[in-house]
Amino acid sequence: MIRLLHITTLSFLMAVSSAVLWAGATPAQAVRGGGPVVNGKWGFVAKVSVGEAHGCTGALVSPQWVITTTTCFASPGQPVKSGAPTVATTVTVGRTDLSDTGGRVLPVEWIHPHRDRDVVLVRLALRVLDVAPVAISSTVPAAGDALQVAGFGRTDEEWAPSRLHGAPVTAGTVDTASFGWTGADGGDVSACQGDSGAPVFRPDETRPELVGLSSGAGQGGCLGAAADGPRGADAVRVDDLASWIGLVAAEPTTSFRTSGSSSTGLGGYDLKDARDQVVAFDYEHSGKLDHLLFYRPGTGMVSIVKRNAAEGTYVPVFSTAGGGLGGHDLKSPADRITAFDYDHSGKLDHLVLYRPATGMVHILKHGSGTTFTPVYSSTGTGIGGYDLKSGADQIIAIDHGSTGKLDHLLLYRPGGHTAWILEHGAGNSFKAVFRSSIGIGDFDLMNAADRIIAFDYGHSGKSDHLVAYRPGAGMVSILKRGTDGSHVPVYSTADGGLGGYNLKSTADQIIAFDYEDTGKLDHLLLYRPGGQTAWVLKHGAGNTFGAVFHSSTGIGGYDLKSTRDRIIAFDLRSSGGQGHLLLYRPLDGIAWFVGRAYPNAVPAWETVWPVIAPDSIVENFTYPAHFRHEFAGTSGQDDWGTEQAEAKHFQLLSGNGGLIWVSCTASPENGVGVIKVFPGLLNGQTEVGEPHLGVTAVCFKVVATGGYVKLRIPNVYEVQGDSRSPGAGHDVDATVVNVASGVERTKRVERDESEQFGRTDVTCDENHPDYPDNCRETLLELRVVN
């Protein structure tokens, strides 16, 4: 974060490097000329987290790409290469306050360093369309230019601030690849650890323009650095990198391109039977529909396949030639399977297998290995009061509560006017929250061809609308749940089709599709098997729909010439979205994957060897040597850094600033106190920590979500949770190592409980000849889990 301090006496500015002007100052108490950024401003500024190794700042420069410094990904003696990051990396963008829920937190799937500059482009797993990228300036910065800097790094008091900070700055000396900046009007501003990659930009309110990225600084006054150290920072220029950024961060075209094809089935499943069906499924409980379940109703044949990303091949993770799945034998040609969020987790990681006309239903959960276990089973009575006694019955998962979870089941009977919505309750019970015998909304369900799908009409990330349609008639209704539990049409036509697509063929099909690769099923793919027609529609203003793609020759090279052709949306890249399509033709063994096409020009892969300079402002998560904060209680201690910890005979090594060492006398806030660690005192052992409750203790406070600290506290015998009122506090995992055996173990410490370790643990062998040394344990880590 940008450290902002008020100074009452301005020091002289002096040049320290080729690019930077520094100002020495003594920190005071107020902020001048900058501070926390208001919510919603400069949403393009991104927080970059390279595992637990590095933390930086960056800027969104296109919907799927963030720019930051290469040194953010650097390790001593190791190159930074084009490709997947070597450490799992996430980017938070569109979120001024990291403790809020707005914006997106997305994995990074690719990085591409610049050959000559400390600049890297980072590709996100999904595209972000609701945050405006920052424009790249085409004007060279000049000394004296008024600029703005914003970052998520440290301040003078906070190690891991949750809020973006910014300050007006002035450009200093400008070189061919870099420039310096200092606080505007003599403001006492420094870049701190975590501000590497912090954008330096022209602060136009309507169109900010990026001119550089903060890359090095003296960190004067920053937490953990010298109070009287140099101010300001160096920045690497990006104003002349627009062409390179445009090449690497190219946007997709409106057309489609194949991402693989086969005429012999997929992953060992031959697709040689006209009955074959395919369902996308979250097999690994990862929140990603990146497995494909192939099945052949009437035979018991099932295969679940996963893409091998490294080789581009598909391999089975489950396969049976006739044994069905989880007790459902799949021996009827009527059997169907759909994915469902049974336990309200936001993951489609359960399977509903049902047999219309018989009342048979099984809901299966994937367990260890390749096992599937029924969590609900009915051999003839249906589910939740719905009897499933018609051969026309259909089941789909829907987001009835607008929660972003497909955790309700819609059961409907085309031609029978019937629609029920079921909610999973306690145990394996289901209850009806909606029942109708006259259709749903204004859609009467009087035709056997009627179909319903879930759809994200509002681009909200929630598939909380229903598209009900009648192929061959042009009838479409898009329904929203009303406040009284009814379903209200937001779009309705008796015969006009949708968005120019007439729906006049009985072969027409509609699926929801993540066309923009944002993780939202907010587009509709309408296609006509045997007719070669495919359209993609986007919901626009009001209840209008417009075509963003239309073709009469198939899609992505797949011709759609057979009436057997089917399409499903699929997470090909395991990105968390469904931006690819699987097109398959049962009986012929044909399977194709298609996705949005990108420009043909691609940059050459790069390998660079970044130099990690002494003035690096990459957050390395080392615990600060000196740390003043407000949680001193009545201890009278001012400094809570590593030097003081060593004086109290324990070590603070690293952390993310979300869990910090404080006094055990720090006052509770909102029912949340401190986590207390009690080291033992035996046989004249050295006292560890501060006196507390007649013994000694080392205490920690949770100040940010997901906090952790790595440390060494010897002879631990108890860890106590931080709850001081019912429901308040945090559960933490405590990891210890047995000093004698070297064996590590982790125990969950619940917020309102305490856990025993070392000599007081029930596993300690008091009869051992080396007791109590045989049980001595050192605390290695505390990690907040919720």
Condensed to tens digits (0 to 9), the pLDDT of residues 617-633 reads 999 999 999 999 999 99
| The predicted structure's pLDDT at residue 473 | 98
pLDDT digits (tens, 9 = 90+) for 364-422: 999 999 999 999 999 999 999 999 999 999 999 999 999 999 999 999 999 999 999 99
pLDDT tens for 3-22 read 443 222 222 222 333 333 33
Q: Which of 103-117, 588-602, 710-724 has the lowest mean pLDDT?
A: 588-602
Q: To which residue do tokens 């029920």 refer?
A: 420
Same-domain status, 238 and 275: no
Question: DSSP strand E in 703-757: where?
Answer: 708-713, 716-720, 732-738, 744-749, 754-756
The answer to whether position 40 is within a domain reads no
pLDDT confidence tier of residue 91, bands split at 50, 70 and 90: very high
Dist CA 214 CA 223 (whole Å): 18
Work out the percent of the chain whose per-residue pLDDT is above 70.
Answer: 95
How high is the pLDDT of residue 411? 98
Q: Mean pLDDT, to the nearest integer, of 137-142?
A: 96
pLDDT tier, 332 (very low <50, low <70, confident <90, very high otherwise): very high
Predicted confidence at residue 286, as pLDDT, reads 97
Residues 551 and 660 in one domain: no
d(CA 86, CA 81): 9
pLDDT 10s digits, 727-750: 999 999 999 999 999 999 999 999
265 shares its domain with 211: no
pLDDT of the residue at 34:
54
Structural domain contains residue 620: no
Residue 157 or residue 716, greater confidence = 716
Q: Is residue 499 part of a domain?
A: yes
The DSSP code for 757 is: -
Binned at pLDDT 50, 70 and 90, residue 311 comes out as confident
With CA atoms as reference, report the closest residue to 113 among 248, 242, 214: 248
Q: 318 and 196 in one domain? A: no
- On the question of pLDDT at 537 being above 70, the answer is yes
Q: Is 50 exceeded by the pLDDT of residue 224?
A: yes
pLDDT tens-digit series, residues 747-765: 999 999 999 999 999 999 9
Q: Are residues 676 and 730 in the same domain?
A: yes
Residue 187 lies in a domain: yes
Same domain, 324 and 431: yes
Q: Is position 630 within any domain?
A: no
Asked if residue 484 is part of any domain, the answer here is yes
Mean pLDDT of the chain: 93
- Same domain (yes/no): 52, 181: yes
Among 184, 216, 250, the domain-final residue is 250
Among 724, 659, 667, 720, smallest CA distance to 695 is for 720
Amino acid 22: pLDDT? 36
683 vs 772, residue with greater confidence: 772
Q: How is residue 302 written in tokens?
A: 């099932």
Q: DSSP strand E in 408-532: where?
A: 408-413, 418-424, 430-436, 451-455, 465-470, 475-481, 487-493, 509-513, 523-528
343 and 234, same structural domain? no
Identify whether residues 660 and 736 lie together within a single domain.
Answer: yes
Residue 606 domain flag: no
Domain boundary among 223, 250, 277: 250
Percent of the chain with pLDDT over 90: 88
For residue 491, which phi and psi values (nearest 5 degrees)? -150, 135
Cis-peptide, bond into residue 668, ω within 30° of zero: no
Average pLDDT estimate for 505-525:
98
Q: Identify the pLDDT of residue 602.
A: 76
- What total number of domains does the chain contain? 3
Q: 619 lies in a domain?
A: no
Q: Which of 220, 235, 250 is a domain's end point?
A: 250
In terms of domains, do 372 and 438 share one?
yes
| Domain containing residue 61 | 2-27+45-250
Same domain flag for 230 and 276 = no
| Whole-prediction pTM | 0.91
Mean pLDDT throughout 590-612? 91
How many angstroms separate the CA atoms of 69 and 57, rounded?
9
